[in-house]
């Protein structure tokens, strides 16, 4: 085996207690490891900074503890590696999307202790993808969202030359108006936190499974706005099931761009100007009245 395969095999054996019979590399950081007896696990090497694998493991356990959505079981982790069950691949279906909609509504309703609260055992300094994400707690969503989910990434984009100072002022003006734009107050929801199409797996069991969370306490509309941003098969069926289970506050479609500022700015920091322009368009679409 190559060195990377040997590392994945050793990690899988250490955290599962099983014997490895095969390793298939899926990427530079991800491998599928077959175990004696027929089990298969995913071995992921953390590509973020310190605390990234701990944050992901804590997030998966926190989401799974709610008993509302499917997440792969965590076998173990350290500061470099994470081992979880593999989800056998299936196909998207309207029925699975509806089940996920009901499950997300129930997940969000299980709540969090505060906006920005990390999962139990999760680090304060966490990650969303490769970008740092600070889980600083707050009681007021508009202020917390501005201070910890919008403006840090605006500053990062300005420092990188992706946004100009004048463009940063567009986001600052929207943040100043968030108390008037945010809609009725809601309690902190238990969020997946990075809920785009690539983090929803359609399983062979007919269920939708969630992976790679950036879990924290937040506003439930943020998870749904991210699904709108990057698309999802049968999203209309998911949303209809969500609404039947836990109706969203009046006017929520108009607030989608506000909740998309967070993921768009994260992508601007990581991937450049194209996402910065999308974030600017979202900010400029905020109501002026």
> So which residues are the catalytic ones?
194
Sign, Cα dihedral of 262, 264, 266, 268 = negative
Orientation angle between helical segments 165-176 and 252-271, nearest 10 degrees: 150
CB-side neighbour CA atoms (13 Å) of 85: 17
CA angle 111, 113, 115 (to 5 degrees): 85
| C-beta of residue 120 within 8 angstroms of C-beta of residue 134 | no
Closest CA to 258 of 231, 232, 284, 288: 284
| C-beta of residue 178 within 8 angstroms of C-beta of residue 142 | yes
Label residues 134-148 b or e (16+ Cβ within 10 Å = b): bbbbbeebbebbbbb
Q: How far apart are CA 113 and CA 130, in angstroms?
A: 26
Closest CA to 266 of 239, 236, 233, 230: 230
CA angle 223, 166, 288 (to 5 degrees): 55
Q: How far apart are CA 206 and CA 274, in angstroms?
A: 36
Orientation angle between helical segments 151-159 and 252-271, nearest 10 degrees: 30
CB-side neighbour CA atoms (13 Å) of 209: 20
DSSP for 106-120 reads HHHHH--SSBTPPPT
């Amino acid at each position: 085996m190559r060195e990377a395969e040997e590392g994945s095999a050793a990690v899988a054996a250490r955290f599962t207690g099983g014997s490895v019979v095969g390793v298939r590399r899926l990427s530079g950081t991800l491998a599928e490891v077959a175990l004696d007896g027929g089990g298969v696990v995913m071995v992921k090497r953390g590509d973020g900074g310190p605390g990234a694998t701990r944050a992901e493991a804590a997030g998966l356990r926190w989401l799974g503890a709610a008993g509302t959505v499917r997440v792969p079981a965590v076998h173990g982790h350290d500061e470099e590696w994470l081992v979880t069950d593999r989800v056998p691949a299936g196909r998207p279906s309207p029925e699975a999307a509806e089940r996920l909609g009901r499950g997300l509504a129930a997940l969000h309703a299980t709540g969090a202790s505060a906006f920005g609260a990390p999962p139990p055992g999760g680090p304060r300094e966490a990650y969303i993808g490769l970008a740092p994400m600070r889980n600083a707690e707050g009681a007021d969503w508009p202020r917390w969202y501005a201070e910890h989910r919008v403006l840090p990434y605006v500053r990062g984009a300005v420092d990188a030359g992706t946004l100009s100072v004048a463009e940063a002022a567009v986001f600052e003006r929207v943040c100043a108006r968030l108390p008037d734009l945010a809609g009725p107050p809601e309690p902190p929801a238990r969020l997946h936190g990075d809920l785009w199409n690539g983090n929803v797996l359609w399983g062979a069991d007919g269920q939708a499974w969630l992976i790679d969370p950036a879990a924290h306490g937040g506003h439930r509309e943020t998870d749904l706005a991210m699904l709108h941003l990057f698309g999802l098969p049968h999203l209309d069926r998911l949303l209809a099931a969500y609404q039947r289970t836990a109706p969203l506050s009046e006017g929520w479609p108009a607030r989608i761009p506000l909740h998309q500022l967070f993921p768009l700015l994260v992508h601007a920091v990581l991937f450049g100007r194209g996402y910065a322009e999308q974030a600017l368009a979202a900010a400029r679409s905020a109501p002026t009245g």
